[in-house]
A and B are shown apart, each in its own frame.
Chain A
């Protein structure tokens, strides 16, 4: 309770200041709606916002699964061969530092103009790919050197080394990578919807665009609030999941 109270008080104070300032200065609501108007907008459109949030979340989760499969598979392959790793790493880094919005048009073309939802999933997966890939790769290489010597000493086969040493050693880094990737997948899904999403897109980004085009600023805020709740909730869930699995991994 002591740790929740200060941020609650701060948020309440900021909201009160915002409300008072809007009324005192007679700010036009399309420029900055007061919190009360945002609250009204939330109450009015929460079923739609909820279904949009679900659309964004399911897009992000699907992207996360795809990214996880590709990243883990690639990290495993690459970790088995030094030359392959040296070859792949610069390409991966180049792709990582390229802004998502810059490759969005290409991905949209490849996904087919009629399937913007595929483009959105693909783009979100690209963003989620890197933390998992680098986490998996670092994890597979983070083996305790003395434990590796023990495997040498007892003549372990390469297969034993992989399944009984490197894969289990990689678990903490893999969990960390997935936690970071889940947050990025939501951001990626929203950004991708902005760039690629039209027509078929049903996510929160689309709600924001829609309200923005009609200058319904309160609804923009309402969608933002929903997005923030979604992000915080997903982060909390992933963190709890990571803790549980780590607990299981090290038995404490």
Chain B
């Protein structure tokens, strides 16, 4: 358990219209929470797909210590199957891995209870609010007890209050299972609030401009957003983003 859960070494990705990412280096220690911050087009989502093994790099090496089914991804949209109930959506990854239907459903109900949706197990995605659907998506990511949890701007479509509640939920759930978490966002405060390490990226092609460690216990104590440490860290990340973008432009 001492080596990195996943790492990118001198990784670059080229698309037909040019270089999208790299070269970048990034290593994830077990249980740590890393936020990738940057403007659109900086390769955050590409980096996430590389870590998930959903995309192959053009250059460099991606190493993953996780086996099949030990990586989970939460996408920008809830990405639920509209024809399945919340419970069956959550059970899906287990069933795809060959777990029996009854066992998978029991695990799904437990996961739904953890995100506070025990009573919505039979509901279809169309009957859920945006925040509830995102919670189902989160339950689906956690039901396989992943060692690596990747979140691609998961709260982008939600209102500010729901965002904050969900951020706390993610932290609480992550504390329980202790997976390494990579969290893509372009919201600086969200990144500082959730991560132990904020990695700032710049576009054209996507590079890592620098990273800032965030002090303090995770999950965050109440009122963390109003502390001087939080303000200072957010200020530092914003400054790094600004100077890096200036240099890129």
The chain A residues found within 8 Å of chain B, CB to CB, are 144, 146-147, 149-156, 160, 164-165, 168, 171, 249-252
Contact B97 A155, beta carbon cutoff 8 Å: yes
> Is the Cβ of A251 less than 8 Å from the Cβ of B97?
no
Q: Write the nearest CB–CB distance from B61 to chain A, whole angstroms.
A: 20
- Chain A residues lying within 8 Å of B124, measured Cβ to Cβ, are 250-252
Would you give the shortest CB distance from A157 to chain B, in whole angstroms?
A: 8
**CB < 8 Å neighbour of A155 from B68, B72, B75:** B68
Cβ contacts under 8 Å, A152 to chain B? 54
Given the known interface contacts A147-B79, A251-B85, the answer about A154 and B126 at a Cβ–Cβ threshold of 8 Å is no
| Chain B, residue nearest A155 (CB) | B68
Chain A contact residues: over half helix, strand or loop, or mixed? Answer: helix
The answer for the CA separation of A146 and B75 in the assembled complex, in Å, is: 7
Contact A154 B85 (CB under 8 A): no
Closest A residue to B77 using CB positions: A146
Within 8 Å by CB of A160, from B54, B71, B96, lies B96
Cα of A178 to Cα of B72 in the assembled complex, Å: 38
Please tell me if the beta carbons of B82 and A249 are within 8 angstroms of each other in the complex: yes
Q: Write the chain A residue with the least CB distance to B85.
A: A251
Q: In the assembled complex, which residues on chain B have CB atoms less than 8 Å from the CB atom of A164?
A: 92, 96
Collect the chain B residues with CB atoms within 8 Å of residue A160's CB: 96
Q: Is the CB of A150 within 8 A of B73?
A: yes
- Classify the interface of chain B: helix, strand, loop or mixed: loop
Distance A165 CA – B97 CA, assembled complex (angstroms): 15
Is B52 engaged at the interface, CB distance under 8 Å to the other chain?
yes
Contacts of B73 in A (CB 8 A): 149-150, 153
**A233→B178 CA distance, assembly (Å):** 60
A-B contact pairs, 16 of them (CB 8 A): A146-B76, A149-B54, A149-B73, A149-B75, A153-B71, A153-B72, A153-B73, A154-B92, A154-B97, A156-B96, A160-B96, A164-B96, A168-B83, A251-B126, A251-B127, A252-B124
Instruction: Provide the residues of chain B in CB contact with A144, threshold 8 Å.
Output: 79
Q: Contact at B69–A155, with CB atoms within 8 Å?
A: yes
Query: For A149, what are the chain B residues with a Cβ–Cβ distance below 8 Å?
Result: 49, 52, 54, 73, 75
A154 adjacent to B93 (CB under 8 Å): yes
Q: How far is the CA of A146 from the CA of B89 in the complex (A)?
A: 14
Q: A164 CA to B84 CA in the complex, in Å?
A: 10
How many Å lie between the Cα of A156 and that of B98 in the bound state?
Answer: 9
Please give, as numbers and ranges, the residues of chain A lying within 8 Å of B92 by CB-CB distance.
150, 154, 164
Closest Cβ of chain A to B80, distance in Å, is 8
Do B72 and A168 touch (CB < 8 A)?
no
Tell me the nearest residue of chain B to A165, going by C-beta. Answer: B81
Cα of A215 to Cα of B141 in the assembled complex, Å: 73
Q: How far, in whole Å, are A249 and B84 apart by their CA atoms in the complex?
A: 8
Name the residue in B77, B93, B127 with the highest tally of chain A Cβ atoms < 10 Å from its Cβ. B93
Give CA–CA (A164, B89) in the complex, Å.
11
B156-204 contacts to A (CB < 8 Å): none
Minimal Cβ-Cβ distance residue in A for B69: A154
* Shortest CB distance A83–B (Å): 22
Q: How far is the CA of A156 from the CA of B49 in the complex (A)?
A: 17
Say if the beta carbon of B232 comes within 8 Å of chain A: no
Residues of chain A lying within 8 A (CB to CB) of residue B76: 146
- Do the beta carbons of B127 and A154 come within 8 Å of each other? no
11 new A-B contacts, CB < 8 A, other than A150-B75, A153-B53, are A147-B79, A149-B73, A149-B75, A153-B54, A153-B71, A153-B73, A249-B83, A250-B82, A250-B124, A251-B123, A252-B127
